Amino acid sequence: MLKYYKGIMIDKKSDNLLEMEYFNNSELLNKKLLEWANLKPDNKDIDAACGAACDIFFYVNRLQVDRRMFNKVVSEYRSDKIRAIERAQNAESKIRELEKQIEILNKQKELGL
């Protein structure tokens, strides 16, 4: 289900399921590579595959962190924008109120009250 969190549309359940699937697949792959590396410690292809798997894990982790930070920054910008709009609306309302008071005072002054 899509939800809005601080102005950001997310599908948290879907994101969590995808991350779980990724971590399960990574664990399966890493266990199998470790098993093969222990069986054939001098195999350069297995060593290369282990290195590649580590690189992929760190790369994906970086993408996940970047996505979370992006969502956080966008959320903060939206909050700042909403707060600025609310402040501007409050200021405009106060201006209208003060202009009405000025009109009343000017009419009283004209009437000599």
**pLDDT for res 8:** 52
**pLDDT for res 90:** 97
Element (H, E) at 3: strand 3-5
What is the distance between the alpha carbons of residues 105 and 97, in angstroms, rounded to a whole number?
A: 13
**pLDDT for res 9:** 52
Taking 50 as the pLDDT cut, the residues of the chain under it are 1-2, 7
**pLDDT for res 1:** 44
Mean pLDDT of the chain: 89
Please give the backbone phi and psi of residue 10, each rounded to the nearest 5 degrees, phi first: -135, 160
**pLDDT for res 2:** 47
What is the distance between the alpha carbons of residues 101 and 110, in angstroms, rounded to a whole number?
A: 14
User: What's the token pair of residue 100?
Assistant: 């009405």
Please report, for the chain, the start and end positions of each structural domain, with discontinuous segments joined by +. 3-111
pTM (whole model) above 0.85: no
Let me know: does 73 contact 7? Beta carbons within 8 Å. Answer: no
